[in-house]
Amino acid sequence: MAKTIPRIGSRRNGRISSRKNTRRIPKGVIHVQASFNNTIVTVTDVRGRVVSWSSAGTCGFRGTRRGTPFAAQTAAGNAIRTVVDQGMQRAEVMIKGPGLGRDAALRAIRRSGILLTFVRDVTPMPHNGCRPPKKRRV
């Protein structure tokens, strides 16, 4: 007969409510990463702590459909819906990457009813960065 392990604390019903406490956030930052294969939308508070996120992959798009503008629009809508319920009114938008979902995600953010303080493109640009590998002999 196995010895029972005594439970410390009062965690009867599985879920812990304090793990995802819903903070009221009036202002936040929306990060959009649009690559050619996927679009990731992350909503953070002003200090950079992630409040909500979504991507075209988690919205159920698979394969090449993840890079489409519609997938980006759906991902942005899903990420923002939860923070609008938490009371976000104003947001800054940071857009990164060369993908097709950039404009579609921004359009979905504008339609959500959040006031945008500014929209900034933070795509990393090399100032003639790394040295390329030497040419292969044929």
How many CA atoms lie less than 13 Å away from 111 in the CB half-sphere? 11
Query: Between helices 101-111 and 69-85, what is the axis angle to 10°?
Result: 30
Q: Which residues have CB under 8 Å from 85's CB, separation 6+?
A: none
Fold topology of 25-119: Nucleotidyltransferase; domain 5 (3.30.420)
- pLDDT tens per residue across all 138 residues of the chain: 677 766 665 555 554 444 556 678 889 999 999 999 999 999 999 999 999 999 999 999 999 999 999 999 999 999 999 899 888 999 999 999 999 999 999 999 999 989 999 999 999 998 999 998 999 887
**Complete DSSP assignment for 68-133:** SHHHHHHHHHHHHHHHHHTT--EEEEEEESS-THHHHHHHHHHHTTPEEEEEEE-----SS-SPPP
What pLDDT score does 45 carry? 92
What pLDDT score does 22 carry? 64
Q: Which residue has the tokens 């200090």?
A: 47
Q: Where are the domains of the chain?
A: 25-119
What pLDDT score does 17 carry? 47
